[in-house]
Structures are given as C-alpha cells and as structure tokens.
Structure 1
Amino acid sequence: MNATMKRFKPLAGLAVLGLALAAGPVAAEDIVVSNYGVSANGMPYAVAQEKGFFKEEGANVTGILTSAGGGTTLRNMLAGNAPYAEVNPNAVIAAVQQGADIKIVADTVLTVAEFVWAVKPDSSIKSVKDLKGKKFGYTNPRSTSQALATLVLQSGGLKAEDVELVKTGGFGEGVAALDIGLVDIAPIPEPLWSKFKDKYRPIARASELLPPIANVLGVAAGASAAGKDEFIKAVIRARRKAVAYMASNPEESSAIIAKVYNLEPDVALAAVKNLVGSRTNGVEYWGAGQIHMDGLNRAVEVQKMVGAISGDVDISKMVDTRYLPDDLKALK
C-alpha cells in the first residue's frame, strides 16, 4: 500500500462482507476520499459508514482510502481500481488535461465555508485592510489556500504583492507558525477552527467574504467505473442520506465523526453545527450531489489565479450526471 494512503475498514464491515460472500458473490469495493479523517469534506462518509447507509443503498463499501492532496488521491484511485473518489477540482482538471478518463459525477462540497483566517488576540490587525506589509500564511504553492488568500486580500482592496505570502506546508503547521510569529495571519479551517477558536481572533470568514466556490467533487474514472454504475449511484445516495442525517442529528453525527477524526466530542459537534448551518449566498456547505456550474466555473478561475490550472477549460464537458438521483440531474 502507498505510504501516503490510509485505510479505514471497520471490523463490522468485514464481518458483514464475510457473511455475504458465504451466501453468494457480492460486489465489494473501496472508495477514495481526499483527506478523510482530517478535513471536513469527508465527514458525511464517516456517518454513512457507521449508520449503515452504504449497505441500505446497496453499496458494499469495504473501506475508505485516503491521502493528503487531490493528485495523490486520484493516483490512489486509479492504482487501486476504485470506482469512486472525492477530490478537489484542480486535481480533476489537471488529470483530465493530462489525458485521464475521469468524470465529475457529484458536486459534494459546494463552498469553502470551512475557512477562517485568524490572528493572535493581541494582534494590531483588525481587518483585511490592515494586512498590508504583513506575513500571510498559506499551505503550499498552487494550493486552494493560496488562491483563497488572494481573494481575501482583494476583498480588502489589497493585492498579493501587498503582503509577504509565507508557505507553511499544512494547516496545523500554519497554526504553529502563527503561534511563534512566523506569520501574522493563517488560515484555520474546520475542524481545526472549532478546536482553536478560543485561542485566536478571526479576521475573515469565507462564508461572509467569498461566493460559493466548488470545493470538493465526486468523480468516477473510466475503466475503474465500468460495470459499477449501481455501486457509484448507491454511494452518492448514501452520502446524501448522511448529509441529511447530520443536519437533523448533529449530536449523534458528531460523536461518530469524533471517533473517526480523533477529535474531542465538543470540537466535532461545534464543527458539524457550524458547517451544517452554513450558507454562502444561500448555498449549503455539504451538497446532496447536484452540480452547481457557477461554483465549478469559479473554482476554475480561482485555480488559474495561482497557476494550478492553465489553458482553456470547459468544465461542463467533464460532468456526467447519469449517476445522480433523478431529482438532482439538472445542472444548477
């Protein structure tokens, strides 16, 4: 197994698989979810697995594979012959531009509402306009956090050249850099924000400053998806069911997520409630799967800003709605 890949395989799931195999042949598949167990995007899959929604919908999900970064996640998907993955848009577009047979089959995280940019409580920075000449942390070159940093600065009438952009290598590392003064401001996404919100002061919130931007997408890949239409459809339905369950049962959902994500229960609950209740121009954070073209096109433009995507991109040609429930097939 790739060293960057983690596998989440509940023993109960293996027991059910063993019984099913004894009764007859069963299509058992892994799925791949970028940053599962770390970032908020993957939380509905934890709920779907624990509540048995995958099985209810007819998807025998034997494990959830994960890795850091969309490109690595897609390579893991292709190498492991997994029929479904959840990754960020720039990874999908870059792979398609390089000739990969990958289709966007669900729009799963519709906004970047998990992002908060914060400073130390005693900082002289009171608003985005005060960032001129300051050290602005971001994770890595051509990352979403770099692109969003540019948008945050623009909201205050500033340009990227007006600050010193400092690469921290990760969100946790960014918090550490903020602590020791290597940066003056850092992005702190959920669930890190719910963990550290009493320690730092927010300067900008994506849900208040930025429009809906496609954040994470469900994808299927050519040969890996062949003959597995019903499995992919069932995964999308189960995830949709989990998103609805999280909204109506945040306490139980957060308890499940706390175990998978190794979070304190109160941190998990705060993150779930924050994101379930989030609306960016009326658009929710965790979507049911329906494709929002405005958000996808914004994601393309945002990634072009930092050079993560180049050339002409017609993202509509990468969309395949056949796996979505009938009521979600229309593009928004």
Structure 2
Amino acid sequence: MTITRFLTRALAAVPLIGGLLAAPQANALEIMASHYGALLNTAPIAVALERGDYKKNGVDVTDVMSSVGGGTGIRNMVGGGLGYGIVSTSTALAGIRQGMDIRIVHTAIRRVDDLLWVTRPDSGVSSVKDLVGRKVGITAPKSSSELMVVMAFEAAGFPGKADIVALGSVGSGLSALEQGGVDAALILEPLYSARKDRYNVAFSLENLPSMTPTVGVATGDFMRKSPDQLRGLLAAWRSAVNFIYENPEEAAKMVAKRYGDTLPVDVATTSMKRMAAIKYWSQGDFDMDGLNIWVKGMERMGEWSGPVDWSKVLDDSFLAADLRK
C-alpha cells in the first residue's frame, strides 16, 4: 500500500492499532490518539513506545486506538472506558461544553506548519498574492483548513481575497488540483515529504503565530483513580518530544517502524526533521496565547461563542513542576 492510499484510508476511517507491546501487566493501559499511524501529530507516542518511555515512567501502554478526530473519537474514548487520549483542541472544548467529564491535561502541538497549500509546477503560483481571486481548496466548511486559509490571506495582507472551495479529503483536493479544478490544495506531513517533487508550495503557515490545535485529555475518573499513571503518560510524552528534537533521524526510524511499511524511513526522516526544526510538538505546558488564538479561530468559524473559563477546562497538576505556570 502506498503512503497516499494509507493516508487516504486513515483520514476516512477509524482503525484500531493493537498489540503494540507485550502482554498486559499491573499498570497495563490502552490510550486513544488522533491520527496515530497516519499523521505526525501523535508521532511522540510511537517514539515513547519504541524507547520504552512509558514503562520507564510506570505505565505499560499496550494499545493505541487511532481516531480520525472529531466528536466520534472522543466519544469512543470515553464510551470505551479509556482514561486518556490526544485529540483536537476543538474536540476537547466541544466535549467539555457538552458535559463530558474530561479535562485538558497537557498540550501536544504548538504549530500548524504541518499543513501546506501546494500547486502545480506550471501554475506560476508561489505566494498568497498569486492566489488572490483564485480557487483554493479546503477539506470542509468551518474546518481548520478553512480557518488556516483565512488567516494566511489576512497575514499576507489580502483578507477575504481567496475563492475557497470545499473538496472533501486531502486526496480529493490533490486530485482536483492535478485536474485543474483548483489552483492550490491542502497537503499535510508526511504526505508532503513523500510527494514534494510533484508540487510547488503555494504558501505555508510559517508566518502565523504559534497556536494549540491538539491537546491531551483525561477523564475525571482516570484523574482521580490513576494519578500516577497519568503523570507517567505526560512524562513519557515529554521525554519522547525531547528525544525527537535532539535525534530527529533516529526518531524517524522509530516512527517508521511503528507506523509500518506505509511510511518509508526516508519520508519519515524528511518530515520529522522538518517538524523538529520548527519545534512542532509541545512538551506539554499550557501556552495560553496559543490556546486563546485557537479559540478565537473557532469563534470565527462559528464553532464557539463567548470566553472560555480555563479554570474549568485545564488541569496542569499532572505536569512536571517546571512545566506548570
């Protein structure tokens, strides 16, 4: 299976990735992670598993349930009795607003630079300015991809000048681009690193501020009954992120091994080195500016209204002392 087919399937279904470690022991635990095995947002989990970071911190992670994100993923997590997962910030906030007994216990991603918009090599497009009044593909209305296009055009000084077209999956968008249906289409890592020779970058999101699109959440029950395991999970995440930043090539081999032969080592290496260079992953500490920027974006897309009472949403007590603010 090619990486393109793998990502297309991963973004359109909710697979269960099991049997990652040996038989369960006293502290055996299953966790949930958005897009694990497909995208790089949860790659530190693969690194932590391969390095034994979880066991070093007193947790035996035996399974990782992979979700395509959205409300279904977090409902599956809570309904399936899982105490911890990594989900989009939007999903976490929506779940808390709906009354789910969960809290955000750490941040996971601090940048959105894994998203790029690409164009055909013969298009003559190399910037936002070149796309003014032209068709720019997104996945769906009110999606994070629409928000990123809006923000990118604003940052470049051309607010409201994109002709935004909803195309469905990333694969559908790239097909539309190749057939001339749009002038720029969304692509994500690691697919970009696998296909970068086929496209030119129309624009990236490197000029946007740091923001927090992905977080770690825990259920109230898990927080009360298994506080040491939760601390271990967060410590392992931090250890894995630090290892990635210090050893991106070695980390890439670990991610490729855990993700399977659908993510070749050379692609993993290119994409992981790119993400490490921009400090894509968070150690877990709460960046309030980044969180508030994301919420403002949700408001713009009609997905949120009013201020967030962060005291009822965040719990930093399971983070290492030096990460608490």
Q: Report the counterpart of residue 58 of structure 2 in structure 1.
A: 58
Q: Report the counterpart of residue 297 of structure 2 in structure 1.
A: 302
Q: Report the counterpart of residue 244 of structure 1 in structure 2.
A: 242
Distance 2:16 2:112 in 1: 26
Distance 2:70 2:318 in 1: 21
One-letter amino acid matched to 1:265: V
Q: Report the counterpart of residue 312 of structure 1 in structure 2.
A: 307
Could you tell me how far 1:113 is from its partner in structure 2? 1.7
**Percent identity (aligned):** 37
Q: Report the counterpart of residue 256 of structure 1 in structure 2.
A: 254
Q: Report the counterpart of residue 228 of structure 1 in structure 2.
A: 226
Please say if 1:9 is aligned against 2:4.
Answer: no
Deviations 1:70-123 (A, max 9, x none): 322211110111111111111111111111222110011111121212111111
Distance 1:215 1:192 in 2: 19
Distance 1:243 1:309 in 2: 30
One-letter amino acid matched to 1:273: K
Deviations 1:177-231 (A, max 9, x none): 2111222111212111111212111122212x20001021011122344301111
Backbone CA RMSD of aligned residues: 1.7
8 A Cα contact 2:126 2:200, kept in partner: no
8 A Cα contact 1:78 1:224, kept in partner: no
Distance 2:56 2:179 in 1: 49
Deviations 1:208-262 (A, max 9, x none): x200010210111223443011111101111111111112222221112123332
Q: Report the counterpart of residue 184 of structure 2 in structure 1.
A: 185
Distance 1:232 1:7 in 2: 22
Distance 2:202 2:147 in 1: 17
Could you tell me how far 1:124 is from its partner in structure 2? 2.8
Distance 1:84 1:313 in 2: 22
Distance 2:138 2:17 in 1: 29
SS at match of 1:121: coil
SS at match of 2:188: coil
Deviations 1:267-308 (A, max 9, x none): 100011001111xxxxx2111101100000000011111112
8 A Cα contact 2:109 2:280, kept in partner: yes
Q: Report the counterpart of residue 281 of structure 1 in structure 2.
A: none
Q: Report the counterpart of residue 6 of structure 2 in structure 1.
A: none
One-letter amino acid matched to 2:243: Y
Q: How many pairs align?
A: 312
Matches within 5 A, 1:165-176: 165-176=164-175
Please say if 1:70 is aligned against 2:70.
Answer: yes
Could you tell me how far 1:316 is from its partner in structure 2? 4.6
One-letter amino acid matched to 1:269: T
8 A Cα contact 2:90 2:213, kept in partner: no
Aligned partner (choices 310, 321, 324) of residue 316 of structure 2:
321
One-letter amino acid matched to 2:175: A
Distance 2:151 2:270 in 1: 26
8 A Cα contact 1:81 1:224, kept in partner: no
Distance 2:244 2:238 in 1: 10
Evaluate the alpha carbon distance shift between residue 99 and residue 210 of structure 1 in structure 2; reply closer, same or farther with a 3 A threshold.
same
Q: Report the counterpart of residue 8 of structure 2 in structure 1.
A: none
SS at match of 1:311: coil
- Which sections of structure 2, spanning at least 5 residues, go unmatched? 1-11
Distance 2:69 2:141 in 1: 13
Q: Report the counterpart of residue 23 of structure 1 in structure 2.
A: none
Could you tell me how far 1:4 is from its partner in structure 2? 4.4
Could you tell me how far 1:133 is from its partner in structure 2? 2.1
Distance 1:245 1:48 in 2: 9
SS at match of 1:38: coil
Matches within 5 A, 1:1-332: 4-10=13-19, 13-15=21-23, 17=24, 20=25, 26-160=26-160, 162-207=161-206, 209-261=207-259, 262-278=262-278, 284-330=279-325
TM-score by length of 2: 0.91
Distance 2:19 2:33 in 1: 16
8 A Cα contact 2:111 2:280, kept in partner: yes
